[in-house]
């Protein structure tokens, strides 16, 4: 049902080359910029309070990721978020590690109180924690969540009036009314840091070209899963995570609508 529309997004993004303003973490900033280029968008990483409001006005979408959050940068996130809301630039929010510390929990909730977002993407315990759930996040890694992923995605989407992506072995995406799951992926995606952050940046690229944020979330999420799966298949016996990361970038870069359509596994409920 969603396939033809997503294929259109893959060709459209290269033509439109949207500018994606990202305030992200110090660990994965370079990888996030490179996946943005790989999918056909342009990244700009700017996080100073002196310039974020001016920068976001030039952008087609804003990515906010709290992975290595610091107080000064949080102020910049709020300034950029409010400026984006004022002129209708869509925002994706990645609450990295939100269950791990009080600081992250307070700041993530404050951001979502002050700024309207189009998409939230996190792993299961991060999303659970945003909803006040009891699960803890071990640093940035997902912990165990008691409620069903579909239920959690729907509840969170309704609560924050946005699209929610819960990543994991199965990716679950909901806009509160429609919910789908994607089963592409490979557990090696967890062996390199930041595949979640990169997935957030990819979705950020797609919300920069369509107002259908549910479709944009499907496009970005499935691209990471499918690329991760294909990269793993191309590894030789003596190759490890260094080569895997390079091949992952390559697979994102060479993905086209036809391959995507043949291999994507979207399950509608």
Judged by the rule CB under 6 A, the positions of this chain that interact with ligand ATP are 96, 122-123, 140, 142, 167-169, 171, 185-187, 189-190, 193-197, 199, 224-225, 228
Alpha-carbon torsion 170, 228, 258, 216, what sign? positive
Binding site for ligand Cc1ncsc1CCO (CB under 6 A): 25, 27-28, 67-68, 96, 140, 193-194, 196-197
Q: Name which of Mg ion, ligand ATP, ligand Cc1ncsc1CCO, none residue 227 binds, using a CB cut-off of 5 to 8 Å depending on partner kind.
A: none
Instruction: Report residue 223: phi and psi, to 5°.
Output: -65, -45
The runs of H, that is alpha helices, within the chain are 3-16, 29-38, 52-56, 71-87, 102-114, 124-130, 149-160, 195-207, 213-233, 241-254, 257-263
How far apart CA 226 and CA 106 sit, in angstroms, is 34
How far apart CA 85 and CA 96 sit, in angstroms, is 22
45 is an annotated ligand-binding site residue:
yes
At closest approach, how far in Å is the CB of 94 from ligand Cc1ncsc1CCO? 8
Q: Name which of Mg ion, ligand ATP, ligand Cc1ncsc1CCO, none residue 27 binds, using a CB cut-off of 5 to 8 Å depending on partner kind.
A: ligand Cc1ncsc1CCO
Which residue number, 80 or 96, has a Cβ lying nearer to ligand Cc1ncsc1CCO? 96
Annotate each residue in 74-103 with x if it binds Mg ion (CB under 5 A) or - if it does not, as one string: ----------------------x-------
Which residue number, 55 or 201, has a Cβ lying nearer to ligand ATP? 201
- Going by C-alpha positions, the residue among 221, 124, 231, 129 that lies closest to residue 168 is 124
């Amino acid at each position: 049902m969603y396939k033809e529309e997503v294929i259109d997004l893959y060709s459209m993004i290269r033509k439109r080359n949207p500018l994606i303003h990202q305030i992200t973490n110090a660990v994965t900033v370079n990888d996030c910029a490179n996946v943005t280029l790989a999918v056909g968008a342009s990244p700009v990483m700017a996080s100073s309070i002196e310039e974020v409001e001016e920068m976001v006005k030039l952008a087609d979408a804003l990515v906010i990721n709290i992975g290595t959050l610091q107080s000064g940068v949080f102020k910049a996130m709020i300034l950029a978020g409010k400026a984006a809301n004022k002129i209708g630039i869509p925002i994706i929010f990645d609450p990295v590690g939100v269950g791990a510390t009080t600081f992250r929990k307070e700041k993530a909730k404050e951001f979502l109180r002050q700024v309207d977002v189009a998409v939230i993407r996190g792993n299961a315990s991060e999303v659970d924690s945003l909803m006040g759930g009891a699960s803890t996040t071990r640093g940035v890694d997902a912990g165990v969540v008691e409620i069903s992923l579909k239920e959690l995605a729907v509840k969170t989407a309704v609560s924050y009036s946005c699209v929610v992506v819960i990543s994991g072995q199965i990716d679950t995406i909901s806009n509160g009314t429609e919910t789908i799951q994607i089963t592409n992926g490979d557990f090696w995606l967890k062996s390199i840091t930041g595949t979640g952050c990169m997935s957030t940046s990819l979705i950020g690229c797609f919300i920069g070209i369509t107002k259908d944020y549910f479709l944009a979330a499907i496009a970005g999420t499935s691209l990471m899963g499918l690329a991760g799966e294909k990269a793993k298949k191309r590894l030789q016996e003596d190759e490890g995570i260094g080569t895997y990361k390079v091949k992952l970038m390559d697979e994102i870069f060479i993905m086209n609508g036809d391959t995507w359509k043949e291999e994507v596994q979207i399950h509608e409920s």
